[in-house]
Structure 1
């Protein structure tokens, strides 16, 4: 049964109030692989509560409204969802504790046609309880089983935004970061309980032979690599990053982030080293003000 695009476009995603603690901040860091090497003193900035900083990509788990597309009332085929794109723009460093508000909304629906799926675009603002704006998140979700709803209505057509181009040369350098076999089980404790990342039977129904890593966990691993390489480990230098998810990562694989220096930032992509498979493409990084 086709989705109701008007209903989905105006879906009342609830505002989320979150009481963030330093334990949550450390859990996020561990859940994206920080701390594998006990002799890596640089990682303590994200793990030691006495001098704690938040990894910028932690914004994606703040004010998270949950797996609302899994509600049968949306009409979406929730088994066949794929995270398409993700960006995080920081307006100031993220807090490591305190009250956080997340305000989410659907911004656009694009019908690619019967059998070709649809794309849902969304935005989330991360605010302090006093209205301070910490971050703006945007992203897209590929609804693989829900194309063909528009019946020619031009409101649901148009082009997808052009991705950030990748330079036509070898990357200037790369950084390898490993994931653990249980990485998805750790990451889900941030609040993303989609069974695709835990339940082998659910993963098979979605077309995978085993559970896959959350796309946003991959995003966090890549963010860690960018902060280390481009920001000298200082999250205060981070401004914005945006990616396209190209292929899933399986827990336990090594994520290689490949970086090209650009004025004001960098272009980047990431691949699984063991399979030489690109998993994040068309990445864009910008330094903060």
Structure 2
């Protein structure tokens, strides 16, 4: 996968500390990227597809002669990377947490091609000097070939060191909790010890997920799995349990990250069918009796 190429506005301003109006007012950043079938397969392997070579449901995501792209691959396409580190944004990046992720899938992703991302910051909600702020960024992903909108990707971050500076942009609604009843499906998933090393090849090279020394300095006993890798694992579970592994049927997927996952852990994806093509989901790490993804919500289309 070619590295994303960002087209930053020529007169991009800078801020010494977080200024909500300034951030929301920054012009849209254009990011272009090309990818091929190998990249599509590599992403699928990075989120656990193909662990069972005899499982027919995974084959379309890992074999080039019948290849389909997983819809959650949208999160790695035309990505600005860890943009909060850029000084011009005035963010205390060392205290940033990835809080929530949301994707609307408007059309099936091509298995190869060129895409254009339009990245902007659309909302900041102040929680006070002691609590920090919540920031939501949006990325529209278009197919360069026909200018078709493929996906809308929203990432919500918790800025622990940037509270007390006001709000700007739209409101950020809280995700709905999952039902209190027993789930309709429980999908067990296995993560491999090298899962993070595979996933990072799709573009997220944060050493927190690969270097034990960096992970230790951040307070973890060993490198943790990318949150968006766990998101992709959950997406695979939804496809398998309720979409007959048809990626075109998954229309949206949102969730809240609540705890890190360690490569090699077993996970259970709990899924509730709520009618009207609505799903709720939660991801558990059963060995630790811990919820690692909560308030999951998805929309699906009926079978073709």
TM range (shorter): over 0.9
CA contact (8 A) 1:240 1:288 kept: no
Give the gaps of 5 or more residues in structure 2: 1-15
The equivalent position to 1:27 in structure 2, one of 36, 42, 49, is 42
The answer to whether the aligner puts 1:285 opposite 2:298 as a matched pair is yes
CA contact (8 A) 2:21 2:168 kept: no
The equivalent position to 1:82 in structure 2, one of 97, 107, 111, is 97
Residue 171 (structure 1) aligns with = 183
Q: What is the deviation of 1:8?
A: 2.7
Any idea what the Cα deviations from partners look like across 1:226-266, whole Å, max 9, x if unmatched? 00001011112111111111111111112210011111121
CA contact (8 A) 2:274 2:280 kept: yes
CA contact (8 A) 1:91 1:135 kept: yes
Residue 237 (structure 1) aligns with = 249
> Measured at CA, do residues 118 and 282 of structure 1 come closer, stay the same or move farther in structure 2, by a change above 3 Å?
same
Any idea what the Cα deviations from partners look like across 1:85-139, whole Å, max 9, x if unmatched? 1111111111101111111110011121223121110111110112111111112
The equivalent position to 2:58 in structure 1, one of 31, 38, 43, is 43
Separation (CA, whole Å) in 2 of partners of 1:117 and 1:181: 34
* Larger displacement relative to structure 2 (241-250 or 206-215): 206-215
Q: What is the deviation of 1:157?
A: 9.9
Give the gaps of 5 or more residues in structure 1: none
* Larger displacement relative to structure 2 (42-51 or 198-207): 198-207
* Larger displacement relative to structure 2 (12-21 or 134-143): 12-21
CA contact (8 A) 1:29 1:47 kept: yes
Separation (CA, whole Å) in 2 of partners of 1:144 and 1:205: 18
Give the secondary-structure state (helix, strand or coil) at the position aligned to 1:15: strand
CA contact (8 A) 1:180 1:251 kept: yes
> Measured at CA, do residues 112 and 63 of structure 1 come closer, stay the same or move farther in structure 2, by a change above 3 Å?
same
What TM-score do the two structures reach when normalised by structure 1? 0.92
CA contact (8 A) 1:103 1:126 kept: yes
What TM-score do the two structures reach when normalised by structure 2? 0.88
Separation (CA, whole Å) in 1 of partners of 2:178 and 2:135: 24
CA contact (8 A) 1:269 1:280 kept: yes
Q: Map of 1:89-108 to 2, 5 A cutoff? A: 89-108=104-123
Separation (CA, whole Å) in 1 of partners of 2:294 and 2:112: 32
Separation (CA, whole Å) in 1 of partners of 2:164 and 2:222: 29
Separation (CA, whole Å) in 2 of partners of 1:43 and 1:279: 24
Residue 228 (structure 1) aligns with = 240
Q: What is the deviation of 1:77?
A: 2.3
Separation (CA, whole Å) in 2 of partners of 1:52 and 1:283: 27
CA contact (8 A) 2:177 2:294 kept: no
Any idea what the Cα deviations from partners look like across 1:143-163, whole Å, max 9, x if unmatched? 12222233xxxx459974131
CA contact (8 A) 1:79 1:205 kept: no
Residue 186 (structure 1) aligns with = 198
The equivalent position to 1:271 in structure 2, one of 273, 276, 284, is 284
CA contact (8 A) 2:190 2:264 kept: yes
The answer to whether the aligner puts 1:162 opposite 2:168 as a matched pair is no
Separation (CA, whole Å) in 1 of partners of 2:267 and 2:123: 31
CA contact (8 A) 2:185 2:241 kept: no
Residue 247 (structure 1) aligns with = 259
